[in-house]
Amino acid sequence: MTDHDAREARRTGLEANLASVRARIDSAVHAAGRGAGEVTLTVVTKFFPASDVRLLADLGVVDVGENRHQEAVDKAAVCEDLVLRWHYIGALQSNKAAAVASYADLVESVDRLKLVNGLGRGAEQRGRRLDCLLQVSLDPPEAGGQRAGVHPEDLAALAARVADHDHLALRGLMAVAPLGQEPDRSFASLVEIRERFLAEHPDATVLSAGMSGDLESAISHGATHVRIGRAVLGERPLIK
Ligand SMILES: *Cc1c(COP(=O)(O)O)cnc(C)c1O
């Protein structure tokens, strides 16, 4: 196969996968009695090359998600000519927060107070406000350990700090359903957390929830953004 043939084959595969993911989203939106266009697809391109991002942009994808800073900054630079909205969805170190704010259009994984200053500083240097989602932990209390996401009890304080910051814009919440738990159960608890949050921040209406395996459940629980990797790009390469 020539490079050109390989690229065409990849494009055809991505196009088919995108069509089937969009069909899944549409039927979940319909089943939930929600309006068409209420759910945005973010394609998670982590581990996949910038050439795939380019094909996706050509196929109409605007929102792309990355979860590692170095990979994201490199890809965003190579794809600078494309009209894309970069979502940072990964674990965030406080010493990298300002750097992430230099290319990300939306940071979905804000989960502790220590990140606020760095994100705000990076946004200020760029001369704009940075859209932020707060990542909420849905892990049951017995899970223990340090998983990503702010504990629901600490959400209000974090939300107040982000909302008060001149260079940050609080847009909503993000969550990942914990492995080994029914997604419906996890997302039902997210609905309650979100109701309390929206009472304080009625304009922060984004809810980023749902991945390749559980997008239907997330949409039935109010997700406005789904983050889809494998169902569009295929299984991630193991090494890297
Ligand atoms: C990788 C990742 C996704 C995409 O998961 P898939 O199962 O590949 O759809 C979504 N959200 C986050 C936070 C991720 O890290």
- Ligand 1 pocket, 89 CB below 6 A? yes
Pocket test for ligand 1, best of 43, 48, 67 (most atoms within 8 A of CB): 67
φ and ψ at residue 151, rounded to 5 degrees: -65, 135
C-alpha–C-alpha distance, residues 161 and 7, integer Å? 46
DSSP category for residue 37:
T
Ligand 1 centroid to Cα of residue 118, in Å, is 25
- Ligand 1 pocket, 211 CB below 6 A? yes
pLDDT tens for the 240 residues of the chain, in order: 788 999 999 999 999 999 999 999 999 999 999 998 999 999 999 999 999 999 999 999 999 999 999 999 999 999 999 999 999 999 999 999 999 999 999 999 999 999 999 999 999 999 999 999 999 999 987 766 567 899 999 999 999 999 999 999 999 999 999 998 999 999 999 999 999 999 999 999 999 999 999 999 999 999 999 999 999 999 987 755
Residue 239, Cα to own-chain centre: how many angstroms?
A: 23
Q: What is the model's pLDDT at position 83?
A: 95
Q: What is the model's pLDDT at position 173?
A: 98
Residue nearest to atom 13 of ligand 1 (CA): 89
What lies within 8 Å, CB to CB, of 99 at 6+ separation is 69, 73, 122
Strands 106-110 and 63-66: unpaired
Kindly compute the dihedral angle of the four CA atoms of residues 11, 16, 20, 26, in this order, to the nearest 10 degrees.
70
φ and ψ at residue 133, rounded to 5 degrees: -115, 150
Q: What is the model's pLDDT at position 215?
A: 98
Contact 159, 134 (CB under 8 A): yes
Which CATH number is correct for 3-233, 3.40.640.10, 3.60.10.10, 3.40.50.970, 3.20.20.10? 3.20.20.10
- Ligand 1 pocket, 147 CB below 6 A? no
CA distances 19 to 25, 164, 201, Å, are 10, 40, 35
Contact 105, 125 (CB under 8 A): no
Pocket test for ligand 1, best of 44, 46, 236 (most atoms within 8 A of CB): 44
Q: What is the model's pLDDT at position 36?
A: 85
pTM of the model: 0.96
Q: Which atom of ligand 1 is nearest to the CA of 174?
A: 13
